[in-house]
A and B are shown apart, each in its own frame.
Chain A
Amino acid sequence: MFEWFGKVSFCPSTKVDAFAQHLKDGRIMGSRCKGCGRISYPPVADCPKCLSGDFEWMEMSGRGTVMTLTKISAAPAGFEDEAPFVIGVADLEETGRCLAWFGKTIPEEEIRIGMPVQVVPRIFEDIPEIKVYYTLEKPGTTWTKGSSA
């Protein structure tokens, strides 16, 4: 089901494909290694530290801080309709980072490195098949079923 993740999917098969189902249900999930307890975001099935292939899901708060960003004007194939769009990388509160588009709750001129953001699950409503993603939004923005950026 990982082909659900992203408008254009480049990775249909993965051991962490339940991430897409969780995202569709409004949860951002990281992974916790059952061998050594290492937490990862984005989630990984395998642990390069203790080599365990056993992991469990861990819900992330989605709270983060903008680490860097760019406004892409020259879009790659498949994203021409979205351009220009602003991508941000957020350091997440628990661990790891998240790369995503900024959503509508943050006006472009207010986007700054260091600002707090909330990672919010999203569904592409204008695409007939199931397509999920997430956006960086103003802190306090909550997911509601059927919400879109």
Chain B
Amino acid sequence: MRRVGVVGVGHGKFGNRSDASVQELAFEAYRAAVKDAKISPEEIDASVIGSVPEYMKQRSLSGVVQEYLGLNPRPVWLTEVACASGSAAIRTAWMAIRSGLHDVVAVVGCQKMTDLSTPEILALMGRVGEVQWESVFGTTFPGYYAMFAQRHMHEFGTTREQLAAVAVKNHYYGARNPNALFRKEITVAKALASEPVASPLLVYDCCANADGAACVILATEEKAKKMRSDVVWLDGVGAATASMSVLRRPELTGLPSASEAARQAYAMAGTTAKDVDVAEVHDCFTIAEVMAYEDLGFCGKGEGGRFAADRQSWIGGSTPVNLDGGLKSKGHPIGATGVSMAYEIVRQLRGECGERQVPNAAVGLTHNVGGIGQYCFVHLFRRD
């Protein structure tokens, strides 16, 4: 089977981007990726957009983005699986290339969120739960992860301080990432003193809504090798789902979709958790990163809190995680997030991350979750 390689990556500034429309955000990331690939736009056969349109006024987003990127009449399509839309777009681009249909595909994750008010976003996001039986009680997105956190604390003795340790790490690295929304270090004490959102989660346990875009360009093995010598290969793709409703999940201390997606991706790439040199995981909330350590096999079940507190996910630890600051510090433009993760891993594997660089990283992983684990995509990247 032919490999699929990443030949270009681009990233725009995440944050409150009231200066730009969604297609303009998409263009920033796309232009950077085309320049990084050192190719001409004519070489791109198709594009896939990862985005969640219900946060934006523009309907049928793919059309406006494709036109603005100047890629008509080439095909475009949208993938939508909540916060995992970006990784779903990468997966379908991978499929399009592996099938032989297309040779070079641009994946653009783009999102505007700040056009809506915070209560409107809380209401929209809360409805990523099951609206018939759950949203009627005013559930929110933080509220769902809070219920996982309560259960994790109850079963494994995970502490508030351990959750805060995740936020401290991600702010530390985010302070060193020019594309991040929050670029300030914090302390455990500061995190613990922040306002309650949904117990036990406080403001500093939660990522922020943001606008932003990221782009990766994928190509067939033959074309990728001609385009650059330091190709990063997408060698393992895994995807799985879990029930929409928390009422139909067997347990609430992990995401079964994540462990299954990871199993598939490790198997396809012929790797294990131990081989992963650097990872990007979906830390929409601190507890989500703790559960990701466990679901991905970076530590044992129930050990995620200690893994964070022992700095095992820092550079120098057993598996460095979210060295771009994660969703927590970068901000979470939901359609762009999965592509942003791939951007960071590719740059880590190319050795381009400066003071945030994991020395000699050769295997990288992304873990992108939609909703409260209804969807999960795990991708394994490798350099030769």
A residues neighboring B (CB under 8 Å): 2, 5-11, 14, 41-42, 67-80, 82-85, 87, 89, 96-101, 113-114, 133
Contact = CB atoms under 8 A, between A and B. Distances in A.
A88 B145 CA distance: 13
A58 B122 CA distance: 35
B150 A76 contact: no
Contacts of A68: 147-148, 150-151, 154, 252
A8 B123 CA distance: 11
Given A74-B198, A76-B140, 15 more contacts: A42-B133, A42-B245, A68-B252, A70-B147, A70-B199, A70-B201, A72-B146, A72-B197, A72-B198, A74-B197, A76-B119, A76-B122, A79-B138, A87-B137, A99-B134
B87 to A, nearest CB: 26
Contacts of B246: 89, 97, 99
A100 B247 contact: no
10 contacts: A7-B138, A69-B150, A74-B142, A75-B119, A76-B138, A85-B138, A87-B138, A96-B248, A113-B151, A133-B136
B147 A89 contact: yes
Contacts of B136: 5-10, 133
Given A74-B140, A99-B139, A11 B132 contact: yes
Nearest to B145: A70
A73 B119 contact: no
A89 B247 contact: yes
B127 interface: yes
B195 interface: yes
Given A5-B136, A89-B246, A99-B133, A70 B123 contact: no
Contacts of B140: 72, 74-76
Contact of B198 (A71, A96, A98): A71
A57 to B, nearest CB: 16
Contacts of A5: 136
Contacts of B198: 70-74
Contacts of A87: 137-139, 143, 147
Contacts of B126: 76
Given A9-B136, A10-B132, A14-B132, A71 B147 contact: no
A89 B252 CA distance: 11
| 8 closest Cβ pairs, A-B complex | A6-B136, A79-B138, A10-B131, A70-B146, A76-B123, A77-B123, A97-B247, A71-B199
Contacts of A70: 143, 146-147, 150, 198-201
